Chains A and B, each alone.
Chain A
Amino acid sequence: EAQVTQNPRYLITVTGKKLTVTCSQNMNHEYMSWYRQDPGLGLRQIYYSMNVEVTDKGDVPEGYKVSRKEKRNFPLILESPSPNQTSLYFCASSLGTGGSGYTFGSGTRLTVV
């Protein structure tokens, strides 16, 4: 089944403890992206990647890192999480620009205390 898989689904952590949210897609998509969703703010893009080793900042990249060493994986790294990073995170992938819909993962609900 074509899908984007995020792990973990839920995560509670403490301020400052580094964490990684994994994202993997099995559709050979070139484009991958991370979003966070907050009440009243909608979905905001954190980082995106147009291909292996090519990443770029979205609208809210502060406090996050990403890497794209393989086409299928696009992990989101929080080096020193803070409470304002408590949010619902989504990974998405698509064939690329020019008219392809995105496939979203099921989301990771992160709480930083």
Chain B
Amino acid sequence: SQQGEEDPQALSIQEGENATMNCSYKTSINNLQWYRQNSGRGLVHLILIRSNEREKHSGRLRVTLDTSKKSSSLLITASRAADTASYFCATEKIGYSTLTFGKGTMLLVSP
């Protein structure tokens, strides 16, 4: 069953602009994670935010988590063409040992 739902499904921006992707989920979670996937390749873990955290940074990435709204956002600042990929949020639910993925946001960054 899908736990996370990303929004938008697709996003097209120019290099240098910021990209914001959102994720909503349904049940209480231990943590929420963001992954990147380049065209049919394996997913790469970007960042993890725990349920008791509100914001986290890693390089050009900024993740926020609002547990009251059951939502998260991923901000990529100063986007580059190399950031073109699909981005997935994934949640680890309380009491479960599995990670459930959303359907992803396709980001296209044009030079």
Residues of A in contact with B (beta carbons under 8 Å apart): 4, 31, 33, 35, 40-45, 48, 50, 56, 58-59, 88, 90, 92, 96-107, 109
Contact = CB atoms under 8 A, between A and B. Distances in A.
Given A102-B43, A102-B45, A103-B45, 7 more contacts: A42-B2, A44-B101, A59-B1, A97-B30, A99-B50, A104-B43, A107-B41
B11 interface: no
Interface residues of B, number: 25
B97 A42 contact: no
B42 A105 contact: yes
Interface in B19-73: 30-31, 33, 35, 40-45, 48, 50
Instruction: State the majority secondary structure of interface residues on B.
Output: strand
A99 B1 contact: no
Interface of B: 1-2, 30-31, 33, 35, 40-45, 48, 50, 88, 90, 92, 97-104
B103 A40 contact: yes
Contacts of B44: 104
Contacts of B42: 4, 90, 104-107
The 7 closest A-B pairs by CB, nearest first: A101-B45, A42-B103, A104-B42, A43-B101, A104-B43, A106-B42, A97-B97
A80 B102 CA distance: 29
A88 B39 CA distance: 12
B41 A102 contact: no
A50 B41 CA distance: 25
Contact of B98 (A33, A41, A90, A100): A33
